[in-house]
Amino acid sequence: MKPLKLLSAAVLAGATLMSMQVNAHRAWILPDVTVLSGEEPVVAFDAAVSNEIFNFDHFALNVKSVRITAPDGSMVEPENAAKARYRSTFDLTLKQEGTYRVFIASQGLRARWEKSDGKRGSYPGRGEDYTQEGFDKNVPKNAKNLKVSQYSRRLETFVTAGEPSDNANKVTGQGFEMKPVTHPTDLYVGEDATFQFLIDGKPAKGAKVTLIREGSRYRNDQEAIELTTSRQGNIQIDWPAPGRYFLEAEYQDDDAKKPATERTGSYVGVFEVLPD
């Protein structure tokens, strides 16, 4: 997988929208199945921001922001994309054997401050790239309560045709990422899974991770699993039941590049766990 760079204003706009919504809600890309066989099988996806996990009740994600990496590292396009009020849908034909990564990702710097009228100022605006020139032009020299963050966000899922391939374990070394130690489409009840979280290619110690199994609408409790990454950035998961899981991870430290004073990362993954 080639190193990720923010690709276009359309990608930025979609990813920025995702990040704004995910503060109060949860964004996800949900495949109908993650492991397939046969000649050129097709996977259907839903993409949304919701109040309840995997229910369509708040906002549709923009499919234009979705990127897909094939087993050989090439980029492929979503098929039959459509957007409704509460969800977007698209298909993917798995023409190669192996594992596909389906994701939305963004990273950059963001500045916030208090204006003289008490309102909040921010840079960059929605759909804009950060540049030093833009920062110098838009952020007042003596901005009140200035806070500059170096951020990265990633939203992804994985699907496999035939045998899983190790390309799913590759990371960019940029931003907050999850490196699967256990293959992300080879998950079973009764078999512990290990995922490693990285920040700019190094272990992300102390990241907070939450796991929620589908169907929480029909339970009295979300039955969330709360984990914290180890010194090596690892978590180990003992899957309690089969189904599709929403995983959310958050990270923050002060090891940011100037002019940022903090570094933050957020990650969302959707995984399918099969019976033993």
Specify the pLDDT at position 127.
64
Is residue 178 scored above 50 in pLDDT? yes
At residue 135, the pLDDT reads 85
The whole-number pLDDT of residue 11 equals: 40
Q: Report the C-alpha dihedral over residues 205, 159, 167, 263, rounded to 10 degrees.
A: -30
Q: Give the list of residues 6+ apart from residue 144 with CB closer than 8 angstroms, or none.
A: 113, 114, 115, 116
pLDDT for the residue 261: 87
Mean pLDDT of all residues belonging to the chain: 89
Residue 114: CA atoms inside 13 Å, Cβ hemisphere, count? 5
pTM of the model: 0.85
Region class of 141: left (phi > 0), else alpha (psi between -120 and 50), else beta: alpha
pLDDT at 19: 42
Predicted local confidence at residue 213, as pLDDT: 97
Indicate if the pLDDT at residue 9 is higher than 80. no
Mapping DSSP to helix (H, G, I), strand (E, B) and coil, where does residue 13 land?
Answer: helix
Contact 176, 251 (CB under 8 A): yes
Task: Give the per-residue pLDDT at 12.
Answer: 40
C-beta of residue 51 within 8 angstroms of C-beta of residue 58: yes
Contacts of 83 (CB under 8 A, 6+ apart): 60, 62, 63
| Tens-place pLDDT, residues 23-46 | 447 999 999 999 999 999 999 999
Q: Spell out the domains of the chain, with CATH numbers in brackets.
A: 9-107+149-273 (2.60.40.10)
Q: What is the pLDDT of residue 21?
A: 39
- pLDDT tens across 32-83, in order? 999 999 999 999 999 999 988 999 999 999 999 999 999 999 999 999 999 9
The count of other CB atoms within 10 Å of the CB of residue 218 is: 6
Say yes or no to pLDDT of 238 above 90.
yes
Closest listed residue to residue 104, CA positions, set 56, 58, 69: 69
Confidence category of residue 264, pLDDT binned at 50, 70, 90: very high
Q: Which of 98, 48, 39, 38 is nearest to 68 (CA)?
A: 98
Cis previous bond, 240, omega within 30: no
pLDDT tens-digit map of 140-169: 988 999 999 999 999 999 999 999 999 999
Asked if the model's pLDDT at residue 105 lies above 70, the reply is: yes
Tokens for 28? 């996800």
Compare 111 and 259 and report the one with higher pLDDT. 111
Q: How far is the C-alpha of 4 from the C-alpha of 166, rounded, in Å?
A: 18
